Every structure is written in structure tokens, then in C-alpha cells.
Amino acid sequence: MGWMEIHIQTNHSGLETVAAFLSGLGIDDVVIDDETEFHEFLEENRKSWDYVDEELLKKEAGASRITFYLEENEAGFARLGEIRVALADFKPAHPDCGPLLMTLDNLKEEDWAFGWQKYYKPIEIGSRLLVIPEWEKDSTDCKGRVPLILDPGLAFGTGSHATTQLCLQALEQTVKPGDTVLDLGCGSGILSIAALKLGAVSAQAVDIDDKCLDVAYENAALNAIGKDRYTVRVGDVLRDGQLQKDLGGDYDIVVANIVADVILGLAPMVRQFLKPRGLFLCSGIIDDRAVEVADGLRRSGWAILETRQESGWFAYTCR
């Protein structure tokens, strides 16, 4: 069975009106894309990002539309015809709702359910790691590399972004058997789980987003890592004094793949978590803020032992 993905282009003020129009035709399961909400989201979460991809901005420009789906069969085409006729009558009466242009994409069943999986393939990182999507684990030859199995559908860090790869490369070079690791801003848990696969004896992970709690534990389970070695917490380590106490200290490595502002906030306090001569690995630093972050790290007493960069992103290994 195939599906038809149908879009109606409107504007911000027309979204509610068009949704009501479709509901009147029995179409209640819709997806709403709103450029205004996109920009509001960016503003409300400015502290969590330094850079927004220009292609994404272009894609969202003027993108106020409603999407719904019909089965690609006789009944679906008949329903589509009814909607076309109704929309033709609706359009002249609602000039304030934008273009009201209806477009159609055909989707095969595999695209509907699993099409996104084709974009995730095993990724060799550094000289030792191989990041493997969960559905590829039984068919992938690791060729002597350390397998790191993830479910990319869980998001929050898949290994494909340069900042994550820079951190994984740094971990590969620094983790020693028996090390303890603290992952600040863990997301999917990819960094702390990788540290355990590379020989760390235990790891703790923290993220401000409570969704990451289940995500990180599920990815750990895919790698046969249990809660006896791996603990995930939710909270704001910058502001929560009790969380800081609960995390304790004497870690060999603290890793943070976040954004420049958060790294600058962490720099003065990370040492409380580390053993003497422990390492602080930080990434997520866009190139036009790299010097600023490096200077901030040095002001906080850190010596930058190694700088890595890729695709306009920087990572520092500090002691």
C-alpha cells in the first residue's frame, strides 16, 4: 500500500481556518508547520544554540502549511477529488489565508514507515570506533573496530555531526581501562556509552531534557551496558547545587558537547568533578566563537592540550 502526502500552503493567520476547513471534511489528523512558531522556538531557546543551518532557515521561510495523508487507492483518490473541489470554493472566500496551494507527494509504504533509515549507515570514527544503527548490527562487519550501537530514531545525537565525532575522537585518544567518566549534556548518551565501550569502568550522564533519560538508557541497553555501570540524571548542572553534590567527584574525564555559552559557564566549575590532572573534553563550539571559548577556558585555569576542528566546529582537550 502507498500513501499520498498532501500539503496546503497557507500563512500563520490562516492555519486555524484551514485546519477547521479540513476537519469539516473529516480530515482531523494533520501536521502543522508554522514559520512563526519556528522563529519563536529559536528565540526562546537561544541559550541552547549558536548556529542555525542556512538551508533550514530557507526551508522554513514562509513555511506555514498543513499536511495530511490519504491512502493511495481508489477511495483515497476519490477523497482527494472531494477536497480539491471544496478547496476551490473555499479559496475565493478566504483571501487572508495565503496561497492555499495544494501539492501532492507519493510515498511508498517503506518510505512511510522506514524511509528515514536509509540516511543512517555505519560510520567509522577515529581509528577504533564504528557507530552502527541498531537495524544494521547483525549485518555489519566491524573489522576489528569497537561497535557502538545506537537507535538514530531516538535522536539527540547519532554520531553523524562533526561536534559529536570530534568528541568521540578525543575520547578514543584519552579513555584508559578503568577510567570514570562524566558526560554533561548527554543527549542520546553516545559519548558516555562510547567511553564505556572504550574501557571506562563506569560513567554518569546528565541532561537538562528529561526525554534523554529513557533515550540514553535504551541506547546503553543496545550495547549490553546496565545501570550497574551507567547512571543517567536529569537537571541543570550549572544551577542545581544538589545535583552537583549528587554527581560527586574524582572522575578521570568530563566531556561536554553542548554550546559555547554553556561551556563558558561550566569552565570555572568542572574541576570540582575531576581528579587531579583529570581531563575536560569540550565540543559544540562554532568557529566564530572558538577563540572566545579558548580564552575563557584559559582564564578559568585550563591548559588546552589539543585542538580539533572539522566542518567549522571546534573541540578542546583541556587539563
Clarify whether residues 175 and 308 are in a common domain. yes
107 inside domain? yes
The closest alpha carbon to 302, from 243, 240, 254, belongs to 254
Same domain for 176 and 284, yes or no, is yes
Same domain, yes or no: 214 and 70:
no
Among 22-36, 85-99, 246-260, name the one with the lowest average pLDDT.
22-36
Query: 60 and 174 in one domain?
Result: no
What is the number of domains present in the chain?
Answer: 2
Q: Same domain for 202 and 85?
A: no
Mean pLDDT of the chain: 87
Burial of 252 (0-12, 13-18, 19+ CB in 10 A): buried
CB-side neighbour CA atoms (13 Å) of 47: 8
Do residues 112 and 165 both lie within one domain?
A: no
Q: Are 11 and 97 in contact (CB under 8 A)?
A: yes
134 falls within a domain = no
Q: Which of 195, 211, 213 is nearest to 203 (CA)?
A: 195
Residues 254 and 270 sit within 8 Å (Cβ to Cβ): yes
| pLDDT of 36 | 62
Domain span at residue 172 reads 161-318
> Where does residue 260 rank: exposed (0-12), middle (13-18), buried (19+ CB within 10 A)?
buried
83 and 205 together in one domain? no
Q: Do 219 and 291 lie in a common domain?
A: yes
Q: Is 26 left (phi over 0), alpha (psi -120 to 50) or beta?
A: left
Residue 310 lies in a domain: yes
**139 found inside a domain:** no
Q: Which amino acid is residue 306, in one-letter code? A: E
Would residue 127 count as lying in a domain?
A: no
- Bridge partners, 131 (sequence order): 123, 148
Same domain, 48 and 182: no
In a domain, 147, yes or no: no
CATH of the domain at 71: 3.30.70
Quick: pLDDT tens for 181-211.
999 999 899 999 999 999 999 999 999 988 8
- Confidence at residue 1, expressed as pLDDT on a 0 to 100 scale: 61
* Cα–Cα distance measured from residue 69 to residue 135, given in angstroms and rounded to the nearest whole number: 27
153 is a domain residue: no
Q: In this predicted structure, what is the pLDDT of residue 56?
A: 47
Same domain, 70 and 212: no
Whole-number pLDDT of residue 286 = 87
pTM: 0.69
CA neighbours closer than 13 Å in the CB half-sphere of residue 30: 23
**Does 3 or 178 have the greater pLDDT score?**
178
> pLDDT, tens digit, for every residue of 124-173?
999 999 999 998 999 999 999 999 999 875 556 778 788 899 999 999 99
Residue of 297, 289, 288 lying closest to 316 (CA atoms): 297
Residues 308 and 234 in one domain: yes
Q: How many helices (H) and strands (E) does the chain have?
A: 11, 14
Residue 43 lies in a domain: yes
If asked whether residues 288 and 185 sit together in one domain, one would say: yes
Higher-pLDDT residue of 281, 71: 281
Three-point CA angle 81, 84, 89, nearest 5°: 135
Q: What is the pLDDT of residue 53?
A: 53
φ, ψ of residue 100 to 5 degrees: the values are: 50, 40
**pLDDT grade, residue 106 (50/70/90)?**
low
For residues 224 and 196, the answer to whether their CB atoms sit within 8 Å is: no
pLDDT at 115 over 90: no
Per the document, the length of the chain is 319
